[in-house]
Every structure is written in structure tokens, then in C-alpha cells.
Amino acid sequence: MKNFDIPEIYKSSIISRLKEYRKSQDPRKKDFSPTELDFGPVKFLVARHFGFCYGVENAIEIAYKTIEENPGKRIFLLSEMIHNPMVNLDLQSRGIQFVMDTYGNQLIDWGEVGSDDLMIIPAFGTTLEIEKLLEEKGIDTLRYNTTCPFVEKVWTRAETLGKEEFTVIIHGKAGHEETRATFSHTERSGKSIIVRDIGEAKILADLILGVRSKEEFYQIFQEKFSEGFDIEKDLERIGVVNQTTMLASDTQAIAELFRNTLMKKYGEENLKNHFADTRDTLCYATNDNQSATIGLLEHDADLAIVIGGYNSSNTSHIVELLQGKFPTYFISGEGRIVSEELISHFDIHSRKEIATENYLPNKKKVAIAITSGASCPDSVVDEVLNKLLSFFRNTKSKEEVLAISEHP
């Protein structure tokens, strides 16, 4: 795996050291149990895998090199580089301007962007329509393209499916940059539909079996299917791909639902003509993060802290998993930990930041599970860990605990 050149501000002294140790001991990632950091009155259960993935590190390296190599040039980003406020604010402080927000709303008019300007395409990729617009303006769409290779892998598979006359079911959020891009790239070669979750997938399965009417399809999936979609013809052959930040287990459940639906309709002997196996498109980093989260759930903790951008899809799914067992607090950084008695955190259900008092239990030894999303720098996790540690007295030194953790 390539080593990327990312700024020092994103590196850490604690988490990076733990990751290196776990990597050396378990290079094939067979053990997803957390690392225990026992400081005496408080113990942290640090997830086996989290933080910057290959695609994020690649995007950050390209963005900072673009700034360094082009002094005096106007540099634009199509939208947020990744879903992390620290990274995006730092890029803006260095002069990069965002053309759109994360939902595709225009922040800078296209008329203000010209052929002399540089345009960075974020890790989520972009639509073919925007690529064409940039090319017409004389802007290079390849040199500063940071699209994640695993997103491009989904596009390649979807294109193949389309050419083989399979309709592509995209498991994702219709408003997310990556899903908008995948939908655009998929539409070039075939038909596609976006389903958000297993609930929408079941509705579509009912439509395939004729349990629901065509009118329901066009109403429920409005603006989420290809132009000219024919419900009677275009649901006979199906393949499922996903927005790479969705829960892999959910994507697999959706794929299995459609597999069983098509088998019921056409018979097991004809299944290969109607259902394409696309398990090879699932993102390894998302899978690893989710496996590590499940590893946390196999241990006992008094609470869980999840760190990341509030608009980060993969981080929200980690929160979702942990909430099933622990009181879970989703924060953007150590600044949201107001004191040992008060924490300000994001509620993924109301989509609002809320405050909770007495989040740390009053007991002799507190156990805290800790992890982050794929776009969160390790340095931010360090800061959170240090802030929480400062609330406890008579703790062991970090050097002592790290030495024990690395050599149990």
C-alpha cells in the first residue's frame, strides 16, 4: 500500500503509533478486537481500524501539492474535499475556494471560473455533466482529480453491467456527492435506480413481483431513476452497487433481497441471466471500519465517542452501530467536550447538535470506546483522547500505557 505525504497537522503521536503496532502484529487484519489503553481510573477501547483511508489520503496529498506547486494561481474545489470540517477549513485558509456545497448548491457562479484557474475534483468524484462543463471552459479535469479509486471501481463495474443490459441498483443517498456522480456515470451505459435502504429495496422488490403498481414506482422513486425507465422491462436484469460509505452489511442485505426476488420470479436455474454478483465492488476501508466497530461491540464500555464530520455518511453509520449497545456521542473534535460534566454532540436522527450532562459515569473505573470516520485525522482523535484523560486523576503516563499496549 502506498504511503502518502500528508501534512504534519493531521498526524498523531498516540493513534499513529498504535496503528503501526497493530499493523505489524496483524498485517492481514484478521483480528478486529480493539486496543486497550488502561490508564487506571479510565480505560480506552480504541477501534482496530478507523481514520484516513487510501482515498482520503490520496485526495489530501493531491490538494496540498496543488497549493504548493501553484503559487499565485486561483484554485477551486468542486465541493468539500472530504466530509471533515478541519480539513476543509484548513484548505480554505490556504486560499482554496469551494464552487458548490456538499448538496450541489452553487456557491460560486460558473461564470467566475475560467481556463486559467485550477479545479480540484474531490474524493467523491463528480458527474459527467460537470466534467463536460469544465472541459468546455478549458479546465483540466484529470491533473487535479482526487476521485477515490474505489469509487471509480464502482463506476467501471456499473458501466459493464449497463453494457450487459443489467439495470444498476445504487444503494446510496440520492443527495450525496458520490451517489450523484455514480448515477451520472451509470446512466451513460444503462438504466439505474437509487435506493436508500432495505425499506425502499423491499418496495422495489414488490414492484418486480407485481405486488405494487407502476404508479407507485414513479411516485416513490421520483427523480431517483434513469430517464425513460420502463418498469416492466428494466427490472428483469439487476446488479447492485453502493455509495462506498454505506454499511456493507446493508448493501449485501439489499443485494440478497433482489437475488431472492428474481429467483422467485424466474427460477433458480435462470438466476444468472437476471442477477449479477457485485460483491467485489464493496470498499475495503468501509468494510474494515465497520468490522472494527463490530469488534468494539463485542466488549463492554460505559460509553462510546465517535469523531468525524457531521455530514460524513460513513461516520453516521458507525454511530448507528454503536448506539445499539452504548450511550454514543458523535462529536467533530475535542472542542465539543465542554467539561467533564457536559458534552455537545450531534444527534443523527434529529440532525441537530444537542448537549448532554453527566455523560461520564461516576464510578471507580470508566471504560470508553473510541473511534472515528474515514475522513477524520488521527491528530483529532489524539486531542479527544487527551481531553477526556485530563478529567481523571492519578492516571498512568501515556508512555507507560503505550509501552504496555504495544508489548502485552
Shared domain for 298 and 358, answered yes or no, is yes
* Mean pLDDT, range 42-54, rounded to an integer: 95
- Three cell numbers written together for 177: 456527492
Shared domain for 87 and 18, answered yes or no, is no
What CATH number did the domain enclosing 78 receive? Answer: 3.40.50.11270
Query: pLDDT value at position 275?
Result: 97
Is 166 contained in some domain?
yes
Distances (CA, A) of 343 to 237, 355, 363, 388: 50, 6, 18, 11
Query: pLDDT value at position 142?
Result: 92
Query: pLDDT tens across 347-402, in order?
Result: 999 999 999 999 999 999 999 999 999 999 999 999 999 999 999 999 999 999 99
Shared domain for 26 and 48, answered yes or no, is yes
Query: pLDDT value at position 146?
Result: 95
Query: pLDDT tens across 201-213, in order?
Result: 999 999 999 999 8
* Mean pLDDT, range 277-305, rounded to an integer: 90
What's the chain's average pLDDT? 93
**What are the DSSP calls for 369-394, one per residue?**
EEEE-TTS-HHHHHHHHHHHHTTSSS
Query: pLDDT value at position 199?
Result: 96
Query: pLDDT value at position 287?
Result: 84
What CATH number did the domain enclosing 228 receive? Answer: 3.40.1010.20
* Mean pLDDT, range 99-111, rounded to an integer: 92
Query: pLDDT tens across 292-316, in order?
Result: 999 999 999 999 999 999 999 889 9
**The dihedral sign for the CA sequence 297, 298, 304, 307:** negative
Query: pLDDT tens across 77-88, in order?
Result: 999 888 888 999
Confidence of residue 1 (pLDDT cuts 50, 70, 90): low
Supply the angle between the helices 54-69 and 85-93 in degrees, to the nearest 10.
10
* Mean pLDDT, range 101-124, rounded to an integer: 93
Catalytic residue, candidates 178, 187, 200, 383 = 178
Residue 123 near residue 56 (C-beta atoms within 8 A):
yes
Is 143 contained in some domain?
no
Of 66-70, 214-218, 286-290, 402-406, minimum mean pLDDT range:
402-406
**Could you give the residue ranges of the DSSP H alpha helices within 269-392?**
284-297, 313-323, 378-389
The pTM score is 0.89
Does residue 152 carry a catalytic annotation?
no
Structural domain including 212 reads 150-282
Residue 371 near residue 292 (C-beta atoms within 8 A):
yes
* Mean pLDDT, range 149-168, rounded to an integer: 94
Shared domain for 275 and 289, answered yes or no, is no
- Judged against a pLDDT cut of 70, whether residue 408 lies above it is answered with no
CB neighbours (10 Å) of residue 257? 18
Q: Give me the residues paired with residue 149 across strands.
A: none
Query: pLDDT tens across 113-132, in order?
Result: 999 999 999 999 999 999 99
Is 1 contained in some domain?
no
Query: pLDDT value at position 316?
Result: 94
Shared domain for 164 and 260, answered yes or no, is yes
Residue 245 near residue 312 (C-beta atoms within 8 A):
yes
Query: pLDDT value at position 83?
Result: 85
Cα separation, 180 vs 174, in Å, equals 6
Shared domain for 303 and 378, answered yes or no, is yes
